[in-house]
């Protein structure tokens, strides 16, 4: 009896360890993907004062990561990738701290709603999964649409003292809104497509 319990505990330990390794691997993959998507697939808009904003799909990776891995792991993956993108860009480098905070929050919010409230990873009802995937993605992006321009304005105006912060704010609202719509559509479509494939391959994570 005691030997059986020890074997069971060992089995549970190995499962948990393998799951953690898998999560870390996927987190690194999401970081790499968000960096590539943000850096090489963006349409940059140059603004007065040497500033810039851009249309990109980096946020879609943050949302997708949170849907697949949960808020913490998904948020960290997306945040790291886009922050590295900022650090390697002479225009965006000063905004790297802001990027990390905001993108991590996108992941946290999306993951919280998708898994703690909607429980999408444990449901087998496709309509339920789609509904909460969409709701979670929209909530994560609504947060970004509101706080990215405002945080950016405060960061540029108060911390960095840039005189053209008002012009940048108007452009940031535009690009952030467009990015949000595209990111929601892309993340939901990709997640709903990946979900059955990952389940079939026994690679789907149940986030509790």
What was the pLDDT predicted at 4? 44
- pLDDT grade for 77, boundaries at 50, 70 and 90: very high
- pLDDT grade for 161, boundaries at 50, 70 and 90: low
What was the pLDDT predicted at 8? 46
Q: What percent of the chain has pLDDT over 90?
A: 67
80 belongs to a structural domain: yes
Total domain count for the chain?
A: 1
DSSP string for residues in 24-60: HHHHHHHHHHHHHHHHHS-EEEE-GGG-EEEE-SHHH
205 belongs to a structural domain: no
Q: Which of 17, 20, 59, 18 is nearest to 41 (CA)?
A: 59
CATH code assigned at 66: 1.10.1760.20
Average pLDDT over residues 129-148: 97
- Residue 89's domain comprises 2-200
What was the pLDDT predicted at 5? 47
129 belongs to a structural domain: yes
More confident residue, 131 or 19: 131
Which of 15-29, 69-83, 105-119, 138-152 is predicted with the least confidence, judged by mean pLDDT? 15-29
Contact between residue 76 and residue 27 where contact means Cβ atoms under 8 Å apart: yes
Cβ-count burial of 38 within 10 angstroms (0-12 exposed, 13-18 middle, 19+ buried)?
buried
194 belongs to a structural domain: yes
What was the pLDDT predicted at 92? 87
- pLDDT grade for 168, boundaries at 50, 70 and 90: confident
Cα–Cα dist 81/78, whole Å? 5
Average pLDDT over residues 149-157: 79
More confident residue, 25 or 170: 25
What was the pLDDT predicted at 12? 47
14 belongs to a structural domain: yes
Average pLDDT over residues 152-171: 70
171 belongs to a structural domain: yes
Average pLDDT over residues 99-112: 97
What was the pLDDT predicted at 112? 97
119 belongs to a structural domain: yes
Is the pLDDT score of 68 beyond 60? Answer: yes
């Amino acid at each position: 009896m005691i030997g059986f319990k020890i074997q069971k505990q060992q089995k549970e330990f190995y499962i948990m360890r393998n799951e953690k390794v898998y999560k870390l691997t996927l987190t690194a993959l999401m970081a790499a993907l968000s960096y590539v998507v943000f850096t090489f697939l963006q349409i940059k808009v140059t603004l007065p004062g040497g500033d810039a904003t851009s249309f990109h799909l980096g946020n879609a990776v943050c949302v997708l990561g949170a849907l697949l891995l949960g808020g913490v792991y998904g948020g960290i993956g997306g945040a790291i990738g886009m922050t590295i993108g900022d650090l390697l860009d002479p225009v965006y480098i000063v905004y790297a701290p802001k990027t990390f905070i905001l993108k991590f929050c996108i992941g946290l919010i999306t993951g919280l709603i998708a898994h703690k409230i909607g429980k999408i990873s444990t449901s087998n009802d496709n309509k339920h999964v789609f509904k909460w995937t969409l709701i979670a993605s929209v909530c994560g992006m609504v947060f970004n649409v509101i706080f990215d321009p405002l945080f950016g304005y405060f960061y540029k105006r108060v911390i960095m003292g840039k005189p053209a912060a008002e012009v940048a704010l108007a452009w940031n609202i535009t690009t952030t809104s467009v990015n949000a719509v595209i990111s929601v559509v892309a993340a939901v479509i990709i997640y709903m497509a990946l979900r059955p494939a990952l389940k079939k391959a026994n690679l789907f994570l149940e986030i509790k």
